[in-house]
């Protein structure tokens, strides 16, 4: 397992995390962090880095947002893993593009069971600083 840690003080600092994601060789990214830690902000900046004009927003109530058929953004906070699986969204991971999953930690055993590779981005807040850990498993 390769792990890189980054201190993020500004939006510009997210470029380091975006580069970690793009260089990981993985297209499924689990975003782990508390409410308001910056999960959606990271996706927003990632979408911009690809030159996509759509504004990324949290899919908390929709469960999935798709940006230019290149970035798939899921949020399991309200719906949970059961509804995610019941809706057949696991099959979405076979689509080319990047798949960001907020609150997806409980999905990890399912991903492993089906042989999907994934990356974990852990976000921790300490005062006005954020620390991102990019774990390439």
Q: Is the dihedral of CA 78, 126, 119, 115 positive or negative?
A: negative
Q: What is the rounded average pLDDT of the residues 120-127?
A: 93
Nearest Cα residue to 57 out of 33, 75, 69: 75
φ, ψ for residue 8, nearest 5 deg: -115, 115
Fold of the 20-136 domain: Rossmann fold (3.40.50)
pTM of the model: 0.93
d(CA 58, CA 12): 20
Domain boundaries, given as residue ranges, for the chain: 20-136
- Residue 128: pLDDT band (50, 70, 90) is confident
Over the stretch 18-61, which tens digit does the pLDDT of each residue have?
A: 999 999 999 999 999 998 899 999 999 999 999 999 989 888 78
d(CA 23, CA 132): 16
Residue 36, pLDDT score: 86
């Amino acid at each position: 397992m390769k792990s890189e840690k980054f201190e993020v003080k500004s939006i510009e600092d997210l470029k380091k995390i975006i580069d970690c994601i793009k260089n990981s060789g993985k297209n499924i990214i689990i975003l782990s962090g508390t409410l308001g830690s910056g999960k959606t902000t990271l996706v927003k900046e990632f979408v911009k880095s690809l030159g996509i004009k759509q504004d990324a927003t949290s899919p908390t109530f929709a469960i999935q947002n798709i940006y230019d058929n290149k970035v798939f953004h899921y949020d399991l906070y309200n719906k949970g893993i059961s509804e995610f699986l019941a809706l057949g969204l696991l099959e979405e991971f076979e689509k080319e593009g990047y798949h960001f999953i907020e609150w997806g930690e409980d999905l990890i055993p399912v991903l492993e069971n089906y042989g999907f590779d994934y990356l974990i981005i852990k976000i921790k807040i300490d005062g006005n600083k954020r620390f991102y850990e990019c774990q390439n498993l």
